[in-house]
Structure 1
C-alpha cells in the first residue's frame, strides 16, 4: 500500500510518499481501507518529535480516519467487512490502509461523506469534552475562543452556541473572522489589530468572560486570562502559536479562576464510557444538521506534505482533509 512515511523527526519535506507493507489487525482491531483522513495540528508536532509521545520509526502521521472495514480481528463482533466507519488512531492515517482498535471505531452515519467523517471525531470530540466536561459550560455564559477559525476553534464555536452560550471569536484576519460570523459568533476580535484584553472587557461591560477556549498559547494566553471573569475557566487545548506560555499564577488567585487542561486522547482511553456518550451525542447532532464541519480544502495522499505545510503555516480555516479518491 502507499503511505506517507516519517523515518526521522523533521518538517514535512523530510517525509516520503512510498510503498509499505499492509498492516494486519490483532484480535481486537479492524483493518480499514482509508477513504479520507483529516489533518490536525498534532500531526505537525508528531513528525517533529514535539508531541506528548513519540512513535517508533517508521510511522505515518494522521489520526482521524474514515473508511471501509477490510478485515476484522477474531474478537470483533459488531463490525463486518464492508461496513463504513470512522475511527481515531494515534498515528497511521496518512496511508491507504490503517489499523483501528475496535473501541475507537464507530459506524459512519448514513449521509455523512467520508471527508466530513474524517474531519469529525478529534475536533468535535475535543471541543465537546472541553466545554461540557472540563468547563462545565452553562447556558447564558460567555465563551472567548482563541484561534476561532481553526479546526478545533470552529467546532468550539458551533458547540458553545448549541449549548446556549454567547461567543466572542478571536482570530488574526478579517476573512477568518467573517467565517466565524457565518458560524454564529456574537462578537469578533482581530487580535493582531486590537488589544485582546481591552476588547474583551469592553464587550463584556467589564465583567470578563466565563470560559476561555485556548488552542493558541503564546502571549495570547496571558492576555486572555487577564480578561477572565470571577470563577472563570481557562481551557488549555494546545499551543498552535508554537510557544508554551508562562502564566503569572497570581492571576488565578485574583479572579478565583481555574486553568484547566484538556487532552481528549487521554479522556478517550481513561473514561471510555463517557467518551462514547459524547461521541453519540455529537453524531446525533450531525444527523440533525446542527453541526456542519467546514472543509477548507482537500488534498491527495501524494500531496499530503503540502497539507501539513499549510497547517504549520496557519493557512487553514476549519478543516483540511487527505482524500484518497483524489
Structure 2
C-alpha cells in the first residue's frame, strides 16, 4: 500500500512537470511568434495547453499550469509578487472551465458535435471571459496598463485566450489518441504528409502575396480535405499550422503596418476556419461510426436469420 501511494505521488508529480514544461513552451512560443512586447495578440497557445492538460490529467495538474505561468513571469523580469498575482489571475479560471466541461459530459476524444459545441461555448467562449477580466484587472492594479485601456485590453485578452483554446486544445486532445494504423497504405501516408506540407506552403504563400490577408480563404480547400479524409487527426494539425503561419505573418512579415481592421479580419478568419474545419471533421467521424454500427447490426441480423433458418428446416430421416 505504501509503495502504491509513492507510485501515485510520483505519477502526479511527473504529470505536473509535463504540464509545466508544455505551458512554458506554449507561453514562449506565443511570446516569440505572436506578441507585441510582452503581450500576446490574437493567439495564446498556453491557454489551450492548460485546458487540455486539465481535461486529460484532471485538476491535480493545476499546480503545473500555475508554475508554468509563474516561471514565465520570472523570465520576463517581473517582480515576484507581480508574477504570482498575474499567474493566479491567468490560471485561476482553468479549473472552473474544466468543471463546466465535465458537467456537460464532455468527451475528450471530441467524437460528438455536442462536445465541439461545449468546447466552443463553455471553454473558448464563456469560460475565458472571467479569465480575461481577472487578468486585465490585475494588470491595471499593478500599474502595467492605464485604467482607460481596461475594456480594450479585456477584449483583446479574451480573444487571445479563446483562440488559444479553439486552436490548440483540439490538437492536443486529438494527438493524444492518435495511433499509427496497422497495414496503412503508403499512398495514404504520403497523402497525409503532402496535405500538411501543402497547407503550410499555401498559407505562407497567401500571406506573403496578400498583405491585407484577403486571400486567406484559399486555404479552405486543404482544410476541408483534411477534415473529410482524416477527420481530427488531419484537421487539428492543419488548423494549427494555418493559424500559426497567418498570425506569425501579421507581426513578423508585414508588407505594411497592421491595423485594427487587419487584426479583426485575422481573428475572424482563425475562428471561422477552426470552427468550420472541426465541425466537418466531427460530423464525418459521427457518420463513419453510424455506418460501422449499421454494418455490424446487419452482420448480426444475417447471423440471426441464418440460425433461425437452420432451426426451422425440417430434419431429414
Q: TM-score range by the shorter chain?
A: under 0.3
Larger radius of gyration between Structure 1 and Structure 2: 2
TM-score of the aligned structures, taking structure 2 as reference length:
0.25
TM-score of the aligned structures, taking structure 1 as reference length:
0.24
Q: More strand per residue: 1 or 2?
A: 1
